[in-house]
Each structure stands twice: as C-alpha cells, then as structure tokens.
Amino acid sequence: MTVSAVYHVSSTASGGGRDGHVQSESGRIDLDLQPPKELGGSGDGSNPEELFSAGYAACFLGALRLVSKNAGTPVPDDATITVKVGIGKDDVDGGFGITAAIDAYLPGFDQETADAVVAQAHAFCPYSKATAGNISHEVTARV
C-alpha cells in the first residue's frame, strides 16, 4: 500500500508503558495510563485499548458517512458506531492479541442497506484496513 499522507500526528509514552503516561504533540491528549483490573492493574486510568476503541469508532463513523453519502443514502445524525476492543492471550503464539467488535446503529435504514454500507465502510476505513488479517473483527449493523 502506498499512502500520500496529508496529516501526521505523534504521541509520546513515558513511564511504564501501560502503567505510565501518554501525551500527544498537540497536548489535547495528556493522560495517565493504568492497566485495567482484568490485566492486574488498578483500572484508575485510561489504557491503550480504550484509546484505540475511541479512535476506531470515530474513524469508522467518518468512513460510514462518506460511503453512505456516495451511495445516495446519507447516514442520519443519530447514527452511532460503538467499537468494543478486547485484549487477551493469543492462543496461537502465547503472546497477546486484540479483537474489535464494531456495532453500527443506523436508525431509519432497512437492514439490507445498512449491511451493505457498513460492509463498504469496513472495507474503506483506514483502521479496518490497517488491522485486516491482524485482529479478529466482528461487524454488525442494527437498524
């Protein structure tokens, strides 16, 4: 894949990684990180999976709005995308892996149209493309 990037951003992690701090170059993200209780942490801070799920949800909704508009079926303002990210032991190599469950809520759409535009958005979304074949995706459309 060749990408002609028109925007770049960077963030810096310090401390213990998952038990540390992260800050974006703009300063808009400036967070202490704590592993979730399920991974032995306190759960008192954000974590990489929480940040990834937020970014993925926003990116996917943008992709959905674009492909829906191009298909002549604009997404209503009350449409939502929820991305549930999971982390756990990779049963193949013994390391860790992540999963993503993408739930698209498209009120006013019929199920067939919702399924079609969500599939198109999944094929178009940069986060979906970046993780294709690397994580388990579950994608659903609700009307």
pLDDT in tens, 115-138: 999 999 999 999 999 999 999 999
pTM for the full model? 0.94
Give pLDDT, residue 135.
94
What does the alpha-carbon distance between residue 84 and residue 37 come to, in Å, rounded to a whole number? 17
Query: Quick one: which of 28, 78, 74 has its CA closest to 55?
Result: 28
Average pLDDT over residues 38-43: 92
pLDDT-based confidence at residue 101 (cuts at 50, 70, 90): very high
* Closest residue by Cα to residue 141 from 109, 98, 103: 103
Residue ranges of the chain assigned to CATH 2.20.25.10? 1-46
Q: Which fold has domain 48-141?
A: GMP Synthetase; Chain A, domain 3 (3.30.300)
At 78, which amino acid appears? Answer: D
Residue 1 above 90 pLDDT?
Answer: no
Out of 3.10.20.30, 3.90.1150.10, 3.40.50.300, 2.20.25.10, the CATH code matching 1-46 is 2.20.25.10
pLDDT at 85 over 90: yes
Angle CA 8–85–7, to nearest 5: 10
* CA dist., res. 107 & res. 80, Å (int): 9
Q: Which residues contact residue 88 at a Cβ distance below 8 angstroms, ignoring those fewer than 6 apart?
A: 96, 97, 99
Please state the φ and ψ torsions of residue 65, each to the nearest 5 degrees: -60, -40
On the question of pLDDT at 29 being above 90, the answer is: yes
Contacts of 104 (CB under 8 A, 6+ apart): 60, 64, 79, 80, 81, 114, 118, 121, 139, 140, 141, 142
- Tell me 52's DSSP state: H
Q: How confident is the model at residue 94 (pLDDT cuts 50, 70, 90)?
A: confident
